[in-house]
A and B are shown apart, each in its own frame.
Chain A
């Protein structure tokens, strides 16, 4: 009878423990302890075995004591099973908040970020833009090239996360990407995992030149290879120092720096080149011209009336840009060359809001531009209805209205006219190499959009060259090269304006396109044109041939790594 009871109570204890472990994520620690206490009492009773009658007192009590200690050890084991196995994740990831609102979480989660050799970021010539150096088991990240900070972003796992390429390519840089199998193996061997390296299409020297040209001015300079979409320069000012944001713990200096960045009215954390949007101003006249030609409304030699002003539904639009005020007849090409607003207001109205809106996505407006960094969305207008207003369409025609464009997008537009109407997908990361330096992925250029025909694009291209050679943008002229361009002034009210320039350079076939944006009070159009011209000359001087020529093999390798490309023919370009 007692044997049966004992067996029953041991079974009860096992059942209680099993049940407790099963539902342990639903019950508090205190309740679990109560349950454990109950199981222990059952165990104590269950192990109270019948001892021979003649046993000496000491032997009997010693056996009982030993049994008691055994039951306690069983209870401890159950507690360990709960902490280390059943509730492992819940405990490992548990967070709490103290009275001051300070959050506490498992420090292992962040220290994992400093525990491995994060991949490096290199420019196209191997200059190190982001480096990782091990010291006493901690991997310190540094960014030695100041001009590249807008591109690399910061990496601050202990405090502020990451931005820039550090954020978009975190998986590759931390080794979670392609060679994760290899890293698991390395961890088994007790070695630290390694991340892959990024090799950029960026040129650090040209980038530094561009940043130097910007100087203290707020603004950006973007240079793209027109045929491949490769980013050669992505300069943006103001920026921030990622070295001051990398910490190995809670660092008050980094916090002070971070707060100063947040409070800075010039918003240095916003990288203008890709995350800023501006009214394109007259640079948009190239778009208006392209749509008009593509839709058959006009030819470069189509003549428009411009007598100094235009009455649009009762609003008088003045014209300040005519080089000869006695002339009333101007061709479309001359309209580009001298940036005649009255001419483009008429063409805008000719095109009409509906057509503009339909061209929007084709030209990259209102859609997300695929890029290695986040890109602010450009807009043709706030909404479709806004373009039904005649004045709004007229203003859009010469680049005002509700237009907003990022500097990167402006450079893409310039490239499109220089590349037979093909808008290439822009990119920054040229290849990814594994820790041994073997290339495991190579970028391959891809046409993203073809908004207009090659003929139309060539017309616009010629008009832009004409604007430099015979028009108002003579400052962009370069001996020995073919340069095309268009300036723009973005009026932001109260007589204040940003200065813009888009252009391209060729020998004679166009090679590189540029977009320069100088925010108000930064030297105006003359400076913008000069910066654009100088960076184009520097770029083509350094790389006279096309930047990238991807061999067939690497293009094929890519299809093996990127699941979504598998099965497609590798492109030959």
Chain B
């Protein structure tokens, strides 16, 4: 195989921004901690390494002749480095609260490294292995994997904080919903691309025009599975995410809003039932509308999150100068509040803008793609990340009830970081396939 090496100038130049951010950010954190202006390069080697790593990824992409999108990776790197800095900054404070956090920052770096390596391998190997073809071909395998992961969570999952979201695999815990969101998108993309015309058409029964019911059966299974998730996992987050992916992809493929309408209607009814019958959901709704109903119990976290966000104001307290660790579990669900406290409204709006850019850039890649499956796949993956962001930020800011889900690329958590880099890798790979324009 012959490579035509290239220099990915746009990507490299854009990556200088997160690189500088890493160095300045960790310098800030280090100097705030010591209260001096004395430092050596050794104090910030981690961020130098991170900056070097992302630049190295870009250079090696070029050397291997990779000609995919040059904007996605810099956006992702910026998000990941903000997350890395935040975890580095929270680490000493968290250790003070609980010794169990003593390796938190190191583990996060490890996951970040694993994510980068995984992404690099997927991007490099997908082309030669013609991954797009077999992703499309084994669509029912992906469906089975998705369902199996859900079932596994149900049968061997561990409950953390009342929600059954995790599977214990010896030393590591994985969150299967992070993986199954990818397999779900791939299945839906493949299935909908194949049956697009059929599902988009109508089924004539006598005088009535009905949707093509036989082709909607797998869709129905997915729909039921999403609702089951809500019941089984006792949590709204993954269910909302899966259902959102499901509806958006159905709409993207068929252009029929009626599916969206019916889906949202049934989901609303399901939510109402869940609210009525499951105390946990009721707790979440109460927390959403007024966390002060139980200030030292269930409402404690959202109250502390509100305090943190309001402490930030427009400009924030500055990196390392706030008290985000008043929020328990700040490193996962509530890391957005920590950013809000220390970087202020400017920081949170910038973050939202970055996520929006990420989604829109993916959409552009999707529109340019030559293949219907690739189009749906990229759009679906991008949408899943967008929905996930909306669910967690909306939950943290009490726009909607909070549901346990990670903030992509920023929250602490191995399975989330690695799989989201996997999503990026797939999108990068798809962007390198032949284009329409």
Contact = CB atoms under 8 A, between A and B. Distances in A.
A104 to B, nearest CB: 4
A541 interface: no
B390 A72 contact: yes
Contacts of B349: 77, 80
B397 A66 contact: no
Contacts of A87: 310
B398 A29 contact: yes
B309 A76 contact: no
A92 interface: yes
Interface stretch (B107-115, B146-154, B228-236, B358-366): B358-366
Nearest to B387: A69
A81 interface: yes
18 contacts: A29-B290, A36-B399, A57-B200, A57-B253, A58-B253, A58-B376, A58-B379, A61-B253, A64-B251, A76-B390, A84-B309, A84-B310, A84-B348, A89-B310, A91-B306, A92-B311, A94-B292, A108-B326
A186 to B, nearest CB: 10
Contacts of B296: 98, 102, 104
A62 B376 CA distance: 9
B295 A104 contact: yes
Contacts of B255: 57, 60-61
A88 B356 contact: no
A190 B313 contact: no
Interface in A47-65: 57-62, 64-65
A58 B323 contact: no
A70 interface: yes
Nearest to B346: A84
B63 interface: no
A96 B363 CA distance: 45
Contacts of B414: none
Contacts of B294: 98-99
A136 B96 contact: yes
A84 B310 CA distance: 5
Please indicate which of the listed interface residues B294, B360, B363 has the most CB atoms of chain A within 10 Å of its own CB: B363
B375 interface: yes
Size bracket of the A interface: 35 or more
B393 interface: yes
Contacts of A89: 310
Q: Which 3 A-B pairs have the closest CB atoms?
A: A91-B310, A96-B292, A104-B295
B262 interface: no
A289 to B, nearest CB: 62
Interface of B: 31-32, 35, 96, 200, 248, 251-255, 289-290, 292, 294-297, 300, 303-304, 306-307, 309-314, 318, 320-321, 323, 326, 340, 344-345, 348-349, 352, 355-356, 359-360, 363, 366-367, 372, 375-376, 379, 383, 386, 390, 393-394, 397-399
A400 to B, nearest CB: 56
Nearest to B378: A62
Classify the secondary structure of B's interface with A: helix
Contacts of A538: none
B252 A108 contact: no
Contacts of A88: 310, 313
Contacts of A79: 394, 397-399
Contact of B303 (A29, A61, A96, A99): A96
Contacts of B307: 91-92, 94, 106-108
B399 A75 contact: yes
Contacts of A69: 356, 359, 383, 386, 390
A85 B379 contact: no
Given A80-B340, A136-B96, A92 B252 contact: no
Please indicate which of the listed interface residues B252, B356, B386, B399 has the most CB atoms of chain A within 10 Å of its own CB: B399
Contact of A97 (B295, B376, B386, B394): B295
Please indicate which of the listed interface residues B96, B312, B318, B320 has the most CB atoms of chain A within 10 Å of its own CB: B312
Contact of B323 (A77, A80, A104, A111): A111
A111 to B, nearest CB: 6
B245 to A, nearest CB: 11
Contact of A66 (B289, B290, B363): B363
A144 to B, nearest CB: 25
A62 B352 contact: no
B301 to A, nearest CB: 12
Please indicate which of the listed interface residues B295, B320, B348 has the most CB atoms of chain A within 10 Å of its own CB: B295
B289 A30 contact: yes
Given A76-B399, A94-B292, A107-B307, 8 more contacts: A58-B375, A66-B360, A73-B356, A76-B394, A84-B313, A96-B292, A106-B307, A107-B323
B383 A70 contact: no
Contact of A98 (B35, B295, B314): B295
Nearest to A87: B310
B308 to A, nearest CB: 9
Contacts of B303: 96, 104
A73 B352 CA distance: 7
Given A29-B290, A83-B306, A97-B295, A59 B348 contact: no
Given A96-B303, A136-B96, A70 B253 contact: no
Given A62-B379, A66-B363, A83 B310 contact: yes
Contacts of B359: 66, 69
A482 to B, nearest CB: 56
B124 to A, nearest CB: 28
B346 to A, nearest CB: 9
Given A58-B372, A92-B307, A84 B340 contact: yes
A80 B311 contact: no
A191 B32 CA distance: 7
A546 interface: no
A572 interface: no
A57 B257 CA distance: 12
Contacts of A192: 35
A519 B303 CA distance: 52
A15 interface: no
A108 B297 CA distance: 19
A27 interface: no
Given A66-B360, A73-B356, A92-B310, A59 B367 contact: yes
B328 to A, nearest CB: 12
A33 interface: yes
A28 B398 CA distance: 13
B32 A29 contact: no
B420 to A, nearest CB: 17
A190 B30 CA distance: 11
